[in-house]
Structure 1
Amino acid sequence: MRLRRAGAVGELQLFVGLLLALLAKKPASSLNASASAEDVPVNEPAVELVDSDANVTEPKEVEFGPCTVTCGIGIREVILTSGCPGGESKCIVRVEECRGPADCGWGKPISESLASVKIPCIFVPPEDRFTYTWKMLIPDQQSLILPNDSAILEVHRDTHPVAFQCDTSENDELIASVKYTVYTTAELETRRLKKPATDIVLVFVLITGVIVCVGVLFAIVFIILNWEAVKHFWQTKIWRSREEVIHSSYASRTTENSAQVPTAENSQTSQLETSGQEQGVYQEWNAEGGEN
């Protein structure tokens, strides 16, 4: 009997153990399912969201300002057009670099004298961030690379004009390239002599224009302040001119009339001539009658 009871108790314990094992496996599977669900990547929206005062999320709309340069490397502003704090329509988020075409053409020196000239490469601070390659351009030949690797090169003037080029690179990538022409001392003096003549002409034209404008302004102010006197003067002048025209027309008419009216002497002369002609005709007629 005891053996049967011990066997029954053992079977009961085994059944309870199996039941507990099954109950323990179900939560573990549910935990694994939840863990697997967390490991699945979720595609988040590309648009950033910002909390407004009403606790409503609004999308951030960003636009880029113009670049400070047309070639090489510069900076530009990143402007937020939606979701700015304080209800502003636009606000600057950050300032970032921007790049244009690498070819910057011909540049102007920083400073120059009759003996030397300083020419710069194109870069943005910090200066040591980039690498600089200076070249001397030789016509119909390969460029000569100079040992100078700084951002600014000081060149002494030669007996003939020389062209230089600087290439600015970062991580072996060409960012900007600029060229300079270093003229001779004689050419520089010639250019400086030509510029004053042009400047003198421009200054003369400017001064003349200013004087004319000031004179016109004073004339307008004088007319406004003395309008009655100016009006009376012009009216008097107009009346005088009209009277002169009337007098001249009357005089011309009087002259024409006097020319048309015959004088006493003219009438007597005409009468004598008429009577003489009549007597001559009468004598000729009498002579013809006597002959018959």
Structure 2
Amino acid sequence: MALRAGGAAGRLAALLPLLLALLAAGAVNGSSAEAAEPLGGRAEPGLNATVSTEVEFGVCTVTCGIGIREVLLTSGCPGTEAKCIVRVEECRGPVDCGWGIPISEGLACVKMPCIYIPPENRFKYVWKMLIPNKTAHILPNDSAVMEVCRDTHSVTFQCETQENGNIIASVKYTVYATTEMRTKKSRIETGQSRRTTTDAILVFCLVTGIIVTVGMIFAMIFMILRWAVVKSIWESKSGQDSQDKKLANKRSLCNME
């Protein structure tokens, strides 16, 4: 038993330098990998390992609520590119987005969207019916898009987009009554017909003016090219008029005698 223990100890002593060498090599590799990683995280695929932290933010896709924007790198891009996209991140503007435009609007119903970015189920949506001089009435609808049918009077709706209990966007819509919508549509059609009539008159006047101008230009060109003929005709006509005047004068003198 002593011999076996001594043999095992001898083999362990012989392997100890090898284990120490392997541990030292692993520590060196780990430190070199950490040194190669840039500040702020690992380098993006396609970028140099010594990437700079100089970045530039693109324009937000929205002026209110929540949207997205590009983060551009201004140094260390691959190849000859002056700027390259590092990532796309969220951006936010003022909460109140004012009055929105419905997705679809017919004579019977209106479909209205809340403000959000994908994924849709990430946010909570609270629809309210705004009543003048009264507390807003919260509707049971909690979807990102709501469809309502027109009533006998106009109604104003508001959608609040919430995240973690905070409102990040708010938009309002006015759903006009059926009679008001028909009146509005008839006014639009009347205005379009008047605009069409006015456009037709303007086009007619423009075409007439162009035709008259072109005719005058051709007449002037003809007179310039045929000036000799026109001059001879004019002179012959003038001579004939003078002769007629002379004859008329002679006849008047004879009558007087």
Q: TM-score, with normalisation over the residues of structure 2? A: 0.63
Partner of 1:247: 237
Partner of 1:140: 133
Q: Deviations over 1:70-91 (max 9, x none)?
A: 1111111111122101121121
Say yes or no: does 1:67 pair with 2:57: no
Q: How does 1:199-214 map to 2 (within 5 A)?
A: 199-200=192-193, 205=199
Q: How does 1:112-261 map to 2 (within 5 A)?
A: 112-200=105-193, 205=199, 235-236=225-226, 239-240=229-230, 243-244=233-234, 247-248=237-238, 251=241, 255=245
Q: Deviations over 1:142-175 (max 9, x none)?
A: 2222222221222221110000111111122221
1:63, 1:81 within 8 Å by CA — same for their partners in 2?
yes
Q: Deviations over 1:192-251 (max 9, x none)?
A: 333334445566738986xx79xx7xxx9xx9xxx9xx9557633895378437734873
With over 3 angstroms needed to count, the CA separation of the structure-2 counterparts of 1:69 and 1:260, relative to structure 1, is: farther
Residue identity matched to 2:234: E
Q: Distance in 2 between matches of 1:84 and 1:136?
A: 51
With over 3 angstroms needed to count, the CA separation of the structure-2 counterparts of 1:247 and 1:93, relative to structure 1, is: same
Partner of 2:75: 82
Partner of 2:18: none
Q: Distance in 2 between matches of 1:154 and 1:70?
A: 25
1:49, 1:58 within 8 Å by CA — same for their partners in 2?
no
1:135, 1:144 within 8 Å by CA — same for their partners in 2?
yes
Residue identity matched to 2:70: E
Aligned residues: 208
Residue identity matched to 1:132: Y
Q: Percent identity?
A: 51
Q: Distance in 2 between matches of 1:134 and 1:194?
A: 31
Q: TM-score, with normalisation over the residues of structure 1? A: 0.56
* CA apart distance, 1:105: 0.9
With over 3 angstroms needed to count, the CA separation of the structure-2 counterparts of 1:207 and 1:262, relative to structure 1, is: closer
Q: Distance in 1 between matches of 2:162 and 2:144?
A: 11
Q: Distance in 2 between matches of 1:49 and 1:151?
A: 37
More helix by share: 1
Task: Please provide the CA RMSD for this pair.
Answer: 4.4
* CA apart distance, 1:138: 1.1
Say yes or no: does 1:263 pair with 2:239: no
Q: Distance in 2 between matches of 1:147 and 1:176?
A: 19
Residue identity matched to 1:155: V
- Which sections of structure 1, spanning at least 5 residues, go unmatched? 1-44, 269-292
Q: Distance in 1 between matches of 2:156 and 2:228?
A: 72
With over 3 angstroms needed to count, the CA separation of the structure-2 counterparts of 1:174 and 1:94, relative to structure 1, is: same
Instruction: Determine helix, strand or coil for the equivalent of 1:147.
Output: coil
- Which sections of structure 2, spanning at least 5 residues, go unmatched? 1-37
2:223, 2:230 within 8 Å by CA — same for their partners in 1?
no
Larger radius of gyration: 1
Residue identity matched to 2:106: S
Q: Distance in 2 between matches of 1:149 and 1:66?
A: 31
* CA apart distance, 1:129: 1.4
Instruction: Determine helix, strand or coil for the equivalent of 1:93.
Output: strand
* CA apart distance, 1:257: 10
1:49, 1:57 within 8 Å by CA — same for their partners in 2?
no
1:131, 1:149 within 8 Å by CA — same for their partners in 2?
yes
